[in-house]
Amino acid sequence: MTAIRSLVSPRLDVKSLPQAISESIVRVVESDPPMIYVIPDRLVEVCRSLKETVGLEFDYLIDVTSADYLDQLEVVYHLHSVPRGHALTLKVELDREEASVPSVTGIWRGADFQEREVYDLMGITFTGHPNLKRILLYDEFVGHPLRKDFALPKEDISSQIG
């Protein structure tokens, strides 16, 4: 029985988050793990309290990724706590034209390459990142190919098919 119980991750109660975090939350989505939308400007403070508050202890950033919803962009952070076993999905909504969000490399060092990948493919700028340049594509590449409005130049397509 103990073995089975240890496989089920404890669930984080979003309502019990400290005020420093809850006042920066835009909205909460009930899911498993729970999902919170955060004001972009407050991201670093929220992440620092999520990592350092006793009882939360989100010491592990699983990944940083992004999505294009045409009217806006989203950056997604999947967090996990090794000592507590619970998880949290953290999102920020961004304007398509001026997509910029503070970097969390100062909190989780592992965000470095992940944020570079999001910058490379989705064109989201991470302010305060120590080395923000393309990571997958070559430096001469123009555009950010995972944006929905990205299109190959016509001559490229015709040369590929012909």
Contact set with another protein (CB under 8 A): 136-138, 141, 145, 150, 152, 157, 159-161
Nearer to another protein, 29 or 157 (CB): 157
Nearer to another protein, 66 or 81 (CB): 66
Nearer to another protein, 8 or 161 (CB): 161
List the beta bridge partners of residue 27. Answer: 37
- Whether the CB-CB separation of 61 and 79 falls below 8 Å is answered with yes
Q: Which two tokens stand for residue 117?
A: 């990948």
- Whether the CB-CB separation of 105 and 79 falls below 8 Å is answered with no
E strand or H helix at 87: strand 87-94
Angstrom distances, CA of residue 75 to CA of 19, 100, 148: 23, 10, 15
Rounded least distance, CB 45 to another protein, Å? 37
Sign of CA dihedral 13, 104, 41, 123: negative
Helices (H), 23-152: 43-52, 111-122
Rounded least distance, CB 156 to another protein, Å? 8
Nearer to another protein, 67 or 136 (CB): 136
Alpha-carbon span 154 to 43, nearest angstrom: 40
Rounded least distance, CB 66 to another protein, Å? 17
Alpha-carbon span 162 to 157, nearest angstrom: 8
Rounded least distance, CB 155 to another protein, Å? 13
Nearer to another protein, 69 or 141 (CB): 141
